[in-house]
């Protein structure tokens, strides 16, 4: 297992190019199972979860061709379509479940393993009840045997009105891609409106789907018979962008962050301004300078978009450790979002956790130590903390980071971080 060896503190300066969004690319890739014609995707991030999804598609019979250093991919159908999505591929990545609906929608059958992924929900695991219940309403039948979902449908799925009992990004994406070839009209109520959902809809409509927003959280999908050959550029990664914005703010840095639409992270940028960051918004660029003294944010609350994203809560926690007083974070999406707090304490942080609320004392001067990542965004938070810590640190289990951050050590080195990957 690789580790990062980081010597701090560093002041981050220079330019960062943001990679394509992992969380936008994953459902887009899963939906290629619906096409008879090839799909070409640009701006794919070179991260492990994308490799896993491509391996999954290959195992299902898709032909995958790479271009431009694997940032562009052409996915086409072969005659060897398969319907079995194995545990070995789904155990590390929750988004693997997104192949279930398209296989049933297109071929009326699938045997798909229960997925794995980051352990963000404590003992509750990462349920997929919202996905399965909604697919059932479209006419999918299923039974569970030996950890696999055996699913089928009699003919095409049938358009229905479905109201999600709670908001889920994955279930929204899954139902969108599963209903575009259905008979009739599907109405999805209570959908997630994250930019990655919007990117998926833009791409599906470009491919000939008929999806319309008919309310703030309501989509109408009129079934079509087939999708056409499509070229699409995946949006930039908003969580990577937010992570680098925190990095600049945390280290009195000065970064020009390129390749992302700043209007999509207005909530996060407004909060960083409150902490004292100076931010200039340009076209697809953010120029951000960190303050000499970081101001506290009394209370940060994670919410569905356009609220503050759970995937940036760990990184903001690091920032608040160095702010001028006590702050708190309430986490509303995942039960185990604060697993990195114990590791931050090894670097000198003063954080107490009660239920879904973390209280962060502030005024911490981090001192280097050995720390271990527990999940993807926890690994980003630990890397940020040790960059601003005095002395040498190691961050272990960086395979979590490799799931979602492209070339992180190369990008950090370029802006002044003393970082080395050791095996």
Active site residues: 118
The residue from 238, 377, 400, 411 that contacts ligand EPU (CB under 6 A) is 377
Q: What is the DSSP letter of 96?
A: G
Distance CA 91, CA 71 (A): 25
The verdict on 337 binding ligand EPU (CB under 6 A) reads no
Paired sense of beta strands 327-330 and 285-289, if any: unpaired
The residue from 10, 19, 23, 243 that contacts ligand EPU (CB under 6 A) is 23
The verdict on 333 binding ligand EPU (CB under 6 A) reads yes
| Helix ranges, 236-387 (H) | 238-250, 266-274, 313-321, 341-346, 376-387
Q: What is the DSSP letter of 145?
A: E
Distance CA 296, CA 316 (A): 11
Residues between 160 and 179 with contacts to ligand EPU, criterion CB under 6 A: 168-171
The residue from 102, 242, 368, 404 that contacts ligand EPU (CB under 6 A) is 404
The verdict on 238 binding ligand EPU (CB under 6 A) reads no
Residues between 37 and 66 with contacts to ligand EPU, criterion CB under 6 A: none
Q: Measured at CB, which residue is nearest to ligand EPU? A: 170
The verdict on 147 binding ligand EPU (CB under 6 A) reads no
Give me the 186-215 binding string for ligand EPU, x by CB under 6 A, dash otherwise. Answer: ------x-----------------------
Distance (Å) of CA 70 to CA 19, 42, 52, 140, 248: 12, 9, 14, 35, 29
Which residues lie closer than 8 Å to 146 by C-beta, 6 or more apart? none
The verdict on 129 binding ligand EPU (CB under 6 A) reads yes
* Shorter beta-carbon distance to ligand EPU: residue 379 or 394: 379
The verdict on 130 binding ligand EPU (CB under 6 A) reads yes
* Omega before 9 within 30 of 0, i.e. cis: yes
The verdict on 240 binding ligand EPU (CB under 6 A) reads no
For the bound state, the minimum distance from the C-beta of residue 365 to ligand EPU, rounded and expressed in Å, comes to: 28
* Shorter beta-carbon distance to ligand EPU: residue 15 or 129: 129
The residue from 94, 106, 400, 411 that contacts ligand EPU (CB under 6 A) is 94
- Select the span of 80-88, 127-135, 215-223, 277-285 touching ligand EPU (CB under 6 A): 127-135
Q: What is the DSSP letter of 19?
A: P
List Cβ<8 Å contacts ≥24 apart for 292-295.
292/252, 293/324, 294/249, 294/250, 294/319, 294/322, 294/323, 294/324, 295/323, 295/324
Which residues lie closer than 8 Å to 35 by C-beta, 6 or more apart? 75, 77, 207, 227, 229, 230
* Shorter beta-carbon distance to ligand EPU: residue 47 or 323: 47
* Shorter beta-carbon distance to ligand EPU: residue 232 or 362: 232
The verdict on 352 binding ligand EPU (CB under 6 A) reads no
The residue from 128, 297, 312, 412 that contacts ligand EPU (CB under 6 A) is 128
Distance CA 252, CA 238 (A): 21
| Under 8 Å between Cβ of 334 and 310 | yes
* Shorter beta-carbon distance to ligand EPU: residue 182 or 310: 310
Distance CA 254, CA 39 (A): 39
The verdict on 156 binding ligand EPU (CB under 6 A) reads no
* Shorter beta-carbon distance to ligand EPU: residue 239 or 269: 239
E-assigned strand segments in 71-225: 72-76, 84-85, 109-113, 141-145, 148-152, 161-163, 185-189, 210-215, 218-222
Distance CA 37, CA 77 (A): 7
The verdict on 122 binding ligand EPU (CB under 6 A) reads no
The verdict on 250 binding ligand EPU (CB under 6 A) reads no
Which spans of this chain sit near ligand EPU (rule: CB under 6 A)? Answer: 23, 26, 94-95, 118, 121, 126-131, 168-171, 192, 309-311, 333-334, 376-377, 404
């Amino acid at each position: 297992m690789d580790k990062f060896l980081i010597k701090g503190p560093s002041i981050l300066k220079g330019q960062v190019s943001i990679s394509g969004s992992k969380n936008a690319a994953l459902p887009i890739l899963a939906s290629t199972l619906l096409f008879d014609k090839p799909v070409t995707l640009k701006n794919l991030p070179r991260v492990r979860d994308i490799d896993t999804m491509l391996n999954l598609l290959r195992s299902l019979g898709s032909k995958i061709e790479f271009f431009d250093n694997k940032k562009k991919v052409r996915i086409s159908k072969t005659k060897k379509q398969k319907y079995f999505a194995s545990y070995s591929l789904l155990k590390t990545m929750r988004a693997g479940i997104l192949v279930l609906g398209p296989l049933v929608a297109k071929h009326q059958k699938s045997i798909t393993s229960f997925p794995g992924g980051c352990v963000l929900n404590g003992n509750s695991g990462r349920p997929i009840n919202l996905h399965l219940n909604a697919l059932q309403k479209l006419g999918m039948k299923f039974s569970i045997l030996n950890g696999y979902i055996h699913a089928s449908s009699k003919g095409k799925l049938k358009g229905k009105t479905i109201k999600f009992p709670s908001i889920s990004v994955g279930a929204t994406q899954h139902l969108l891609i599963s209903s575009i070839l259905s008979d009739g009209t599907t109405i999805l109520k209570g959908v997630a409106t994250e930019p990655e959902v919007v990117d998926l809809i833009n791409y599906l409509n470009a491919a000939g789907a008929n999806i319309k927003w008919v309310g703030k959280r309501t989509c109408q999908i009129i079934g079509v018979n087939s999708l056409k050959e499509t070229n699409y550029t995946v949006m930039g990664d908003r969580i990577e962008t937010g992570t680098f914005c925190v990095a600049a703010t945390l280290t009195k840095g000065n970064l020009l962050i390129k390749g992302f639409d700043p209007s999509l992270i207005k909530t996060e940028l407004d909060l960083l301004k409150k902490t004292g960051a100076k931010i200039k918004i340009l076209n697809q660029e953010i120029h951000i300078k960190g303050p000499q003294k970081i101001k506290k944010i009394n209370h940060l609350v994670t919410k569905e978009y356009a609220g503050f994203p759970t995937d940036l809560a760990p990184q903001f926690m690091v920032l608040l450790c160095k702010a001028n007083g006590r702050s708190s974070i309430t986490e509303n999406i995942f039960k185990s979002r604060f697993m990195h707090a114990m590791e931050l304490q090894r670097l000198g942080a003063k954080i107490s956790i009660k239920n879904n609320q973390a209280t962060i004392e502030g005024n911490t001067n981090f001192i280097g130590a050995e720390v271990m990542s527990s999940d993807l965004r926890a690994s980003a938070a630990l890397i940020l903390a040790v960059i601003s810590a005095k002395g040498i640190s190691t961050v272990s289990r960086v395979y979590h980071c490799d799931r979602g951050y492209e070339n992180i050590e190369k990008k950090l080195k370029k802006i002044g971080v003393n970082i080395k990957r050791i095996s």
